[in-house]
Amino acid sequence: MPRYRLLIEYHGGPYQGWMKLPGKPTVQAALEEAAAKLDGGPVEIYGAGRTDAGVHATGQVAHMDLRQDRPNKVADAMNFHLRPHPIAVLKAERVDDDFHARFSATARHYRYVVINRRADLAIERGIAWRVPSKLDADKMQEAAQALVGTHDFSTFRDTECQAATPVKSLWRFDVARYGDRIEFTCSAPSFIHRQVRSMVGSLVEVGRGREPVRWMKEILDATDRQRCGPVAPSDGLFLERVDYDQAT
């Protein structure tokens, strides 16, 4: 059975996350329904990242096995069957049978968008978090550096997380302001459940001036979920890119 790698974009608003859930709309379920129509039978689709309810993607990667080889037609056919879902297959390509969207991935890159203004959101409603109080991006950038490296991220681990360990390696975490827009970008081989939203929510407490810069290291070292700041809403989070070795 030919295996295809899919590059996928989606608006997470209508969905209860990536993973299939009985009786609930999910991105995986919508993709599998489209693939079944394309291939004439059930198709399982495996994603690189299990995004939460309401989280978006501009560079999600998935793979699927089809009964028939359909060169140059898979992306268009999937998009036809996906309509009117806010999901688009940007690219589909044949890959070796040992490629796995999740287990072959070497890095994941997330972006979180905050709009820092008093006025309500119009154009960016549902795809950003509006924070009306003035935020200090420089202080958040400084505080974020305490998170870079290999740490026990229990403080930023959701209580329902099923990961084998809270120890993760965060390669980078940058905070930058572009006018009213503040972007938080982070990269790691993998993340634990709601880690990014938990870290962003805590950094915003620093940006508001409610906590000092050193507080991020203090709560990280505490390895205590109760020390985490408010979790940022899902609206502003995007799975931006997934990396693989060139051989895959």
Dist. CA 81–CA 33, nearest whole Å = 8
Which residues lie below 8 Å from residue 219, measured CB to CB, with a gap of 6+? 155, 202, 227, 228, 229
156 DSSP β-pair partners: none
> CA separation (Å) from 61 to 8, 65, 109, 127, 241?
6, 14, 12, 20, 8
Q: Return the half-sphere exposure (C-beta side, CA atoms, 13 A cut-off) of residue 130.
A: 11
Catalytic residue selected from 52, 96, 97, 245:
52
In 3D space, the residue among 91, 97, 108, 85 whose CA is nearest the CA of residue 6 turns out to be 91
Q: In the annotation, is 52 catalytic?
A: yes
**Residue 67: how many other CB atoms lie within 10 Å:** 11
- Catalytic center residues: 52
